[in-house]
Structure 1
């Protein structure tokens, strides 16, 4: 139970993995560039600072690790050039230390399925720049496993939300206005179903894959609560907050205008198709193999709002 588990990254997903591992009694090390301890990460978790693009560093920081979790990523507007070498360096470090590598992925590699549910057997048909990068990286992981270089598995989540999640389609642009009685910002269609992944379920899924030998060698979709329309989902948040539902819809055209000044908005334009058609995820392979770990919305909604209330209060206190 004291085996070392190393997490690259210290953002919301890395912290969700950390919580899942601590519940299992694992020894945890988190790796980031600054060496700063994120708020809420307990002192028992080691924090290591370094450059995850540097193979000498990834080799050193993963010494003695049983499992390595790849939750780090470059800024969204630097994905195309910076993400593949980041994963390659982390993979090489894990391989040299004979550690399993469990990677967090999203669903970009499948491309536009015209509203059909996403499952792991779909071809990688993405035509977007970031979708092609995701496909390239997924194939690199699979090839590393097939060749015997390193044992790998990946968990694929949809757009995520929950405690600590700020920069997401269901993040601070939605919940901070909501809690202030203003319209919540929504990307794309209000009345089409869209699957969202609760952040702690994503972290739990990665921890499960790291401890189950039968999980290795493939990708798994993270279980989600049943997909609702964005109007239905956010109405639950408004009702939990005791407020009437109000929405501002961010269209592809508006994202394009915002992208003239904000790099992250500009990068969202090519991914707008995910919010213009039904976007549902089939995670039956995971649930059949490991159980349904999806947190019910009846719990995920108040937990998310509670974190955002605390975040908003802290932000006001600093103003």
Structure 2
């Protein structure tokens, strides 16, 4: 049985990045615990992860689940992504208190929202945090509280990356903005302004990076803030063109690339909270933002990196947006599509 050093509580394990980190910790030999609201039983072992009935909004639930853990991954968001202003900071406080009690390292998947345009175009970890959105202000406060906690003895790791995309659908620009889940890709909506670069991050690569950092956490500063380079789209079209290539390889027809309908978000923002939040992030598509991973390379010696077309294919397949096999692919003796040969 794994000891405390290889036991982790993942809050948000049913979400995108939390789920990916939980699975990769499990595959790396960790004992992984997770909370789930509405679980029928008190405990349930599912896919190698120990699920416990509980809620990240409940301090007692978090404290109980964290017992015997050497790591707490705080990858949780408010239910339905609502009420950030009321719920986010209390949830973080529960994780901080539990980590202090257990002497555990607290890992936070960070974002770029807590930085304003004055920190661009090359974003360093120590740049001043002057957010220009409501969610960005909350994110900046989260990191400030983690920094203060580390000053009093808590070990903290913050990993920031670009816009997430990956094989499991979630709330991200790739699956909600560029393409439509569970539908063939006939058009790609590109949010980038012409010629403006954008930073992307493939979820499995982000999770692999976090697992590698946790394995070396004793060598890191008490408050370790690190950036991933991920996939840099230098002109704002490379992601859309990668989707175009992958879809064409599977269907024989390249979908068209169209401008993202920002005007529609403007009209709908007063009525749809998700659209309002997406519109607030438009500044990240109007000017280039590239992340410097020098500090990460110094800590790990490398950054996990999946080739763009391979990552895009996995993401589209996870969204149900690709047919079973590429055009011209053969089938095995049971009639199943053979694996495609990488380009």
Structure-1-length-normalised TM-score: 0.88
Identify the residue that residue 240 of structure 1 maps to in structure 2. 246
- My pick for the range that moved more, 133-142 or 206-215, is 206-215
What is the aligned counterpart of 1:27 among 28, 31, 44? 31
**5+ long unaligned stretches in structure 2:** 325-343
What is the aligned counterpart of 2:8 among 2, 5, 16? 5
What is the aligned counterpart of 1:300 among 303, 311, 326? 311
CA 310–239 in structure 1, closer or farther in 2 if over 3 Å, else same: closer
Identify the residue that residue 299 of structure 2 maps to in structure 1. 289
Based on CA coordinates, which of the two structures has the bigger radius of gyration? Answer: 2
Structure-2-length-normalised TM-score: 0.82
User: Is the Cα contact below 8 Å between 1:6 and 1:62 reproduced in 2?
Assistant: yes
Matches within 5 A, 1:176-187: 176=180, 180-187=184-191
Identify the residue that residue 47 of structure 2 maps to in structure 1. 43
Q: Equivalents in 1 of 2:202, 2:24: separation in Å?
A: 13
- How far the C-alpha of 1:84 sits from its partner, in A, is 1.0
- How far the C-alpha of 1:264 sits from its partner, in A, is 0.8
What is the aligned counterpart of 1:97 among 79, 102, 109? 102
- How far the C-alpha of 1:310 sits from its partner, in A, is 7.1
User: Is the Cα contact below 8 Å between 1:177 and 1:184 reproduced in 2?
Assistant: no
CA 294–85 in structure 1, closer or farther in 2 if over 3 Å, else same: same
- How far the C-alpha of 1:200 sits from its partner, in A, is 0.8
Higher helix share: 1
What SS does structure 2 have at the residue aligned with 1:293? coil
- How far the C-alpha of 1:171 sits from its partner, in A, is 1.2
How many equivalent residue pairs? 309
Identify the residue that residue 327 of structure 2 maps to in structure 1. none
Q: Equivalents in 2 of 1:138, 1:312: separation in Å?
A: 42
What SS does structure 2 have at the residue aligned with 1:218? strand
What SS does structure 1 have at the residue aligned with 2:114? helix
**5+ long unaligned stretches in structure 1:** 314-319
Q: Equivalents in 1 of 2:323, 2:272: separation in Å?
A: 23
Identify the residue that residue 260 of structure 2 maps to in structure 1. 250
